[in-house]
Amino acid sequence: MTNKMKTITIKNLEGFSGVILIPVFETYSKSLVPIEFHGVSVPSKVFYGKKDTHYLIEKYDCLHIFIGLGTVINYKDLKTIFRRISAKQKESFASEVALVVPEQFSLEQVEAVISGLYLGTYDVGHFKKTEKHPFLNDNFELSLLSKIDFAKTVAKAIKIADAQLEILNLVDLPPNVVTPKYLSNWAIESGKKYGFEVEILGFEASKKAGLGAFLSVGKGSENEPQFVIMNYIPENDNPKTKHIGLVGKGITFDTGGLNIKTSGMLHMKSDMAGGAAVFGAMQLIADLKLPVKVTAIVPCAENSVDAKAFYPSDVIQSYSGHSIEIIDTDAEGRLILADGLSYLIKNFKPEFIVDIATLTGSSVGTFGYECGALFTNNEAISKKLQESGDAIGERLWQLPLWDCYKSDIESDIADVKNYSGKPVAGAISAAKFLEYFTEEHKAWAHLDIAGVAFGDDEFAKSKHATAYGVHLLVKFIENL
């Protein structure tokens, strides 16, 4: 765990020398009035605050970086702009950096900027010799030039980015490092540091508990599966405290099993991104000391291939007591989630449940890389999840759970089958499968984040983690 970025508030720039970050709302290209700050004047022909532009000028022993925000800006774009400045101007940052906080900034905008600057310290080159970002040095302090003390907002912004950085690490590290055991150890350490209880069921304990669907998936790997159970109880717990259940898919690598993948296997280290989002959310919930009870389960396993691997056409027993016919061993995420959901509902009885998983290519086929697929029969939960996502740029869009899709998971030989065998409605039939194991829970939602948890952006040459879901889950819990 890295050093956190530190900040202080200053009232003026007297005696300051270093880098000054100056966010600027857009004027227009033919404006006769230049943008002025700290005795530096920038004509509109050169820079007028257009979104995604910036302008550097050195004067008075200071490097001034004017940062264009456009006329209006949302949370996600603001965060990305400042992450870009932090990451791409890394060499410019001396020991002193000041951020000018515009008077019209809301608390959410301050949060987005600080989070973005801290996220810019992330380097995907885990096995390369690279210099630490200046923001992470022991003696570094980011100065906030502001009349208002934003200490509370800044502290929250740093906690959000800190949880997201942890999850970028988990998802981007290779599968020979991030095994199920690595994740269970991470959970134990995080629980000790932030204040939540962790229980781990290894192979024998899972067998004793009857987690048959979960164990079937992990059978073909030499790495022992780990069923991770986390409990956060707030300081002022009482009978009225809301109780939320989270379940995340923790497949540390997915070969497809005996139905081996014919494409896209390279990126399957990201198949635990739903589980990672739950881990990050638990860290952040405990770090923010939210006044809610949270029970989270992340079944962690590797879907591998050897003589012990489960077969297509096997019939396996689940924790719920329902039998499952295996049509496709590559539809494994829903099997571990089924046991996770059943275990959570039977033993902990939370009022609200959200499961999150990189579950189907079908969700990517529907939405591309713009939003996650949302499934729920509870309209209030649907609205809250979508509003929470819209506020921070982690979007969700609802797909149906109509009963006409039930036939996709009906089996002749078992209670239910794990795959429809059809090339259509894959995300929906997967959600119907999960719904089967929710005991008709009245406030359950399933998030399929296959298209948004891992992908391309400007911060690395290859596909990498986004930490999607960490902030979304926490924002949803805050809004309940």
Q: Check residue 394 and give its pLDDT.
A: 98
Nearest-CA neighbor of 480 among 193, 246, 159?
246
Confidence tier at 342 by pLDDT (50, 70, 90): very high
Segment 389-397 shows an average pLDDT of 98
Nearest-CA neighbor of 250 among 346, 182, 329, 196?
182
Segment 66-93 shows an average pLDDT of 96
Q: Check residue 209 and give its pLDDT.
A: 98
- Three-class secondary structure of residue 478 per DSSP: helix
Helices (H), 173-210: 180-194, 203-209
Report the mean per-residue pLDDT for the chain.
96
- 475 catalytic, yes or no? no
- 192 catalytic, yes or no? no
Q: Check residue 347 and give its pLDDT.
A: 98
Segment 87-110 shows an average pLDDT of 94
Stated pTM of the model: 0.98
Query: Is 120:84 a contact under the CB 8 Å cutoff?
Result: yes
DSSP state of 224: P
Which of the following is catalytic: 83, 156, 334, 475?
Answer: 334
- Lowest-confidence segment of 90-94, 371-375, 442-446 by average pLDDT: 90-94
E strand map for 34-107: 35-37, 40-42, 54-59, 62-68, 96-100
**Position 1 pLDDT exceeds 70:** no
Which of the following is catalytic: 261, 395, 406, 463?
Answer: 261
Q: Check residue 2 and give its pLDDT.
A: 56
Segment 344-366 shows an average pLDDT of 98
Per-residue pLDDT tens over the stretch 145-168: 999 999 999 999 999 999 999 999
Calculate what percentage of the chain has a pLDDT beyond 90. 96
Confidence tier at 29 by pLDDT (50, 70, 90): confident
- Three-class secondary structure of residue 480 per DSSP: coil
Segment 121-148 shows an average pLDDT of 94
Beta strands 96-100; 141-145: pairing state: parallel
Secondary structure element (H or E) that encloses residue 471, with its range: helix 470-479
Rounded CA separation 335/274 (Å): 14
* Number of helical H runs and strand E runs in the chain: 12, 22
Confidence tier at 28 by pLDDT (50, 70, 90): confident
Confidence tier at 335 by pLDDT (50, 70, 90): very high
Calculate what percentage of the chain has a pLDDT beyond 70. 100
Q: Check residue 3 and give its pLDDT.
A: 74
Per-residue pLDDT tens over the stretch 247-262: 999 999 999 999 999 9
Rounded CA separation 182/297 (Å): 16
Rounded CA separation 376/386 (Å): 12
